[in-house]
Copies of this chain bind each other. A is one copy, B any other.
C-alpha cells in the first residue's frame, strides 16, 4: 500500500490542512529538513472540532459489541503492518533509529493492539459483578450490578522515543480504544510523517468498521498550544503522555486547573537504579560491566528504562567493575539522537555532571559531529546524598556509577531516591539475605523489580508494570504497558434495581455476551 503524505490534520473522517504554523520533519541523522510534505499545525478550532466529534462518537463507540471493537483493533494492527516499507523508511529518517529496532517496534505496536483486542473479547476488563436482590432480608436488598465503562474521550501525546509503540497507535491509544474511549492524538513533531502514515491507517480502519468518525483524530503542532488546548477541552476526560518531566507536569497542572479536573497519566522520568550485590559482582563482574555498557548505549540510551544509576559497595570488585565498564563505554560508537533538541539536552546534562567537582568522568565514548558521545561518570554515595541533582535523569547514552561505603549507605541512597519505573538487582544465590532485606525498600520505590537482567526491555503482557511512584509517573497506581493499562481509562458504574431489559447486555440475567461475571461474590456458573 502506498500512502502519499500530505501534512494534513486528520479530524474525524476529514483530512484538512491546518491553519497554524507550518513545520517540516527533520532527518535525524543529517539534521536537515525533509522536504515533503510541509506539516501545518492545528488551531483552536481544529482542536474543538476533533474533541466534539470524539464526544459525539463516545456513546456509539463504547456500546459497540465487544467483537466489533476487537475486530476494529485487529484491523488497526493489520493496516499498520500493511503500511510496509514506507513506514519503516519514514520512521528511520525522522527518528534516526535503525531498521531492526523499528521493525521490532512495529511488531510490538501491532501485537499490542491485538492483545487489547483479545482483552476486549474476554470481557475481563468489564469486571462484571452481580449482587442479586435479597427480598427477605431486613432491610431488603435490591438487585445491584457493577461494571466498568470508558471515562470518555482521551487525549494521547505521541512520544519522541517510540515513534510507533508510544505514539499515534501506541499503548495509550490502544488501551483507550479498548476501554471504549475515542482518542484525539497530538502527534510528536519529531516524527510527523510517521504519525500521518499511522493516523491514516487508523482513520481508514474507523471508516471500514463503520464507526462514528470521531473515534480517532490526529493533530499536529510544532509548539505547545494544541496540546494545552486539548487537555483543557471539556470533552477530554483523561490524558496519556510519555515524555519529559517538565512536559508531563505542565499537563498535570493544566488538567488540575480545569473546572472539572481530569486524570493525567504521564510517564516522565526515571534513572532506573541497578544494584550490584557483592556475590554477583565477585562472580561475574566483567560480564556485568559489558552488559551494563551495552544496555546503557542501546538505541543511543533513549529509553525511559535506561540504567542511569549503578550502585555498588566499595572494594576491589567495585574498582574492577569501574575499570571494565570504563573500557566498554570508551568503545561505544557515537550515536544519532532522535532530535537536535534531545542531543542538546543530553550534552547540557552531561556537561553539568562532567563539570561538577564531585563527579569523576570514567569514560567517554567516540565523538562525532552532531552525534551523542556515551559517558560513564562516577560519584560517591555521600556526594549523591548531599546533592540529589547528581542522580537526575540525563536522557541518552550515559550512566552514573555510585560507590556506597557500606550497606547502610546503599540503603540511605535507596531511601532518598525518587520514585522509579524500575529497580534492578544483580544478585547471586549468595546474595539472598541482602536481597530479601532490600526488597521491601525497593518495592516502595519502583513499579518493576528485576533480577539479573537489564530493564530496557518492556514486555507487553498481563503481568507488566510500566509505571511507578512519582515522578517516574504522575500516577503510581497505573501502568502504561500491558493489559492493566486499560484500567486508566475505565470507571465503575453500578445499576440498582433496573429492569433486565434496561440493562447493558453484559449485565442482563441471561448473559447473552457470555461475559465472565461474579455473582453473589463468586464466579458465576454458566
Q: Please provide the chain A residues from 447 to 490 with a CB less than 8 Å away from any CB of chain B in the complex.
A: 447-453, 457, 459, 461-465, 467, 469-471, 474-479, 484, 490
Q: Please provide the chain A residues from 423 to 456 with a CB less than 8 Å away from any CB of chain B in the complex.
A: 425, 429, 432, 435-436, 439-440, 443-444, 446-453
C-alpha gap A459/B146 in the complex (Å): 13
CB distance from A140 to the nearest CB of B (A): 10
Let me know if A467 and B451 touch, CB within 8 A.
no
Among the listed B146, B252, B475, which residue makes an inter-chain contact with A484, where contact means beta carbons less than 8 Å apart? B146
C-alpha gap A345/B504 in the complex (Å): 40
Let me know if A370 is at the binding interface, CB within 8 A. no
Let me know if A284 is at the binding interface, CB within 8 A. no
Among the listed B256, B453, B465, B501, which residue makes an inter-chain contact with A493, where contact means beta carbons less than 8 Å apart? B465
**Which of A446, A450, A494 has the most C-beta atoms of chain B within 10 angstroms of its own C-beta?**
A494
Let me know if A151 is at the binding interface, CB within 8 A. yes
Q: Please provide the chain A residues from 483 to 526 with a CB less than 8 Å away from any CB of chain B in the complex.
A: 484, 490-499, 501-502, 518, 521
Let me know if B260 and A496 touch, CB within 8 A.
no
Let me know if B260 and A463 touch, CB within 8 A.
no
Let me know if A130 is at the binding interface, CB within 8 A. yes
Let me know if A230 is at the binding interface, CB within 8 A. no
Among the listed B144, B435, B476, which residue makes an inter-chain contact with A502, where contact means beta carbons less than 8 Å apart? B435
- CB-defined contacts of A465 to chain B, threshold 8 Å: 146, 492-494
Among the listed B139, B144, B477, which residue makes an inter-chain contact with A464, where contact means beta carbons less than 8 Å apart? B144
Let me know if B502 and A432 touch, CB within 8 A.
yes
For residue A141, which residue of chain B has the nearest CB? B459
C-alpha gap A254/B494 in the complex (Å): 31
Let me know if A81 is at the binding interface, CB within 8 A. no
Let me know if A457 and B139 touch, CB within 8 A.
yes
> Given the interface contacts A263-B477, A497-B453, does A149 sit within 8 Å of B490 by beta carbon?
no
C-alpha gap A498/B48 in the complex (Å): 48
**Which of A152, A463, A474 has the most C-beta atoms of chain B within 10 angstroms of its own C-beta?**
A463
C-alpha gap A59/B415 in the complex (Å): 13
> Given the interface contacts A432-B501, A498-B451, does A493 sit within 8 Å of B130 by beta carbon?
no
Let me know if A419 is at the binding interface, CB within 8 A. yes
Interface residues on A, range: 35 or more
Among the listed B447, B452, B469, B518, which residue makes an inter-chain contact with A497, where contact means beta carbons less than 8 Å apart? B452
CB distance from A154 to the nearest CB of B (A): 13
For residue A516, which residue of chain B has the nearest CB? B523
C-alpha gap A477/B418 in the complex (Å): 26
For residue A465, which residue of chain B has the nearest CB? B494
**Which of A443, A444, A447, A479 has the most C-beta atoms of chain B within 10 angstroms of its own C-beta?**
A444
> Given the interface contacts A451-B499, A493-B447, A497-B452, does A463 sit within 8 Å of B144 by beta carbon?
yes
C-alpha gap A146/B482 in the complex (Å): 11
- CB-defined contacts of A499 to chain B, threshold 8 Å: 429, 432, 451
Among the listed B131, B260, B444, B477, which residue makes an inter-chain contact with A461, where contact means beta carbons less than 8 Å apart? B131
- CB-defined contacts of A494 to chain B, threshold 8 Å: 447-449, 463-465, 479
> Given the interface contacts A131-B461, A146-B484, A449-B495, does A440 sit within 8 Å of B59 by beta carbon?
yes
For residue A457, which residue of chain B has the nearest CB? B139
Let me know if A63 is at the binding interface, CB within 8 A. yes
For residue A464, which residue of chain B has the nearest CB? B494
- CB-defined contacts of A131 to chain B, threshold 8 Å: 459, 461-463
CB distance from A258 to the nearest CB of B (A): 9
Let me know if A44 is at the binding interface, CB within 8 A. no
CB distance from A257 to the nearest CB of B (A): 10
Let me know if A476 and B491 touch, CB within 8 A.
yes
- CB-defined contacts of A364 to chain B, threshold 8 Å: none
- CB-defined contacts of A451 to chain B, threshold 8 Å: 496-499, 502
Let me know if A469 and B260 touch, CB within 8 A.
yes
> Given the interface contacts A439-B502, A447-B493, A496-B451, does A261 sit within 8 Å of B474 by beta carbon?
yes
For residue A127, which residue of chain B has the nearest CB? B484
> Given the interface contacts A261-B470, A451-B497, A470-B261, does A464 sit within 8 Å of B146 by beta carbon?
yes
Let me know if A142 is at the binding interface, CB within 8 A. yes
Let me know if B260 and A459 touch, CB within 8 A.
no
Let me know if A145 and B463 touch, CB within 8 A.
yes
Q: Please provide the chain A residues from 109 to 160 with a CB less than 8 Å away from any CB of chain B in the complex.
A: 129-131, 139, 141-142, 144-146, 149, 151-152
The 9 closest A-B pairs by CB, nearest first: A465-B494, A146-B463, A144-B463, A450-B496, A131-B463, A129-B463, A448-B494, A59-B440, A477-B491
Given A146-B484, A449-B494, 19 other A-B contacts at CB below 8 A?
A130-B463, A139-B457, A142-B453, A144-B459, A146-B465, A152-B444, A252-B256, A261-B470, A263-B475, A432-B499, A443-B493, A447-B492, A447-B494, A449-B496, A449-B498, A450-B498, A451-B498, A462-B521, A467-B492
